[in-house]
Structure 1
């Protein structure tokens, strides 16, 4: 066995999708860095973070892709559903428009992702309880329609963030064991001005 074969790890790819300003980048920062920042700017195209996780004694490389929510970037981000194993659909509990778009994002998953993909629905910004316009019951009702798990989270306080991300990773890996092992990592190709590699989390 060559040194390259020894160091090559399976790859698990996850996506964060949802309208702009729902807090996707802040959730990813909280999960990876355990901190919140008001200075996070809107994602342009696609960003990602790397980490390693052990499943059943096997070390797996996990890439979590943070996609732009603006309509003009849909043609770019739609390409990243292919070969993904997990998707988190995120809305803002203080923003009714972002909740109303959840069905559009699930249609994107249906159209572009493998049919065995794992999904979770996340209602973000529950720390802003006084500004909430979407109830927990409304979020839970959507999960019945799309057959996925639901978590109310806060990128600011960190509530339920680790639980939600770990649940999605575990579910994604379990399905991948059933439908096929994760592909090995390959060099990533970037479109100039569209993607930027983030630090390891």
Structure 2
């Protein structure tokens, strides 16, 4: 759970991390059918990670791209604010 305050409105994001594992694919489809937003992430240093994300992205529309870093935190807050 991530709580943000935007324009004096409290927004709670419920975030799920499935690590892109195939065994979660049927479960996540049930959840993201009702989702307001989805984050698909990959490791820029591992090309197979990016290739795996392509399969997930093919089933989504109006996708935006944010380059951020889980390691440094760069642009993570901006991404969360945009999602909210």
TM-score range, shorter chain: 0.7 to 0.9
Counterpart for residue 154 of structure 1: 69
Contact 2:4/2:81 (8 A) holds in 1: no
Superposed, 1:124-135 pairs within 5 Å as none
Counterpart for residue 181 of structure 1: none
* Cα deviations by residue, 1:112-166 (Å, 9 ceiling, x for unpaired): xxxxxxxxxxxxxxxxxxxxxxxxxxxxxxxxxx654322222122222222222
* Cα deviations by residue, 1:54-96 (Å, 9 ceiling, x for unpaired): 3443323321222241112211222110221111111111111
Contact 2:20/2:52 (8 A) holds in 1: no
Match of 2:46 among 86, 92, 95: 95
Match of 1:85 among 36, 40, 63: 36
**Is the aligned partner of 1:108 residue 2:59?**
yes
**Is the aligned partner of 1:164 residue 2:79?**
yes
- Larger Cα Rg: Structure 1 or Structure 2? 1
**Is the aligned partner of 1:61 residue 2:16?**
no
Normalized against structure 2, the TM-score is what? 0.75
Superposed, 1:9-24 pairs within 5 Å as none
Aligned length: 84
Moved over 6 A (4+): none
Contact 1:91/1:102 (8 A) holds in 2: yes
Q: Distance in 2 between matches of 1:160 and 1:149?
A: 14
Q: Distance in 1 between matches of 2:75 and 2:9?
A: 26
What SS is found at the alignment partner of 1:77?
helix
Normalized against structure 1, the TM-score is what? 0.36
Structure 1 unaligned runs (5+)?
A: 1-49, 110-145, 170-201
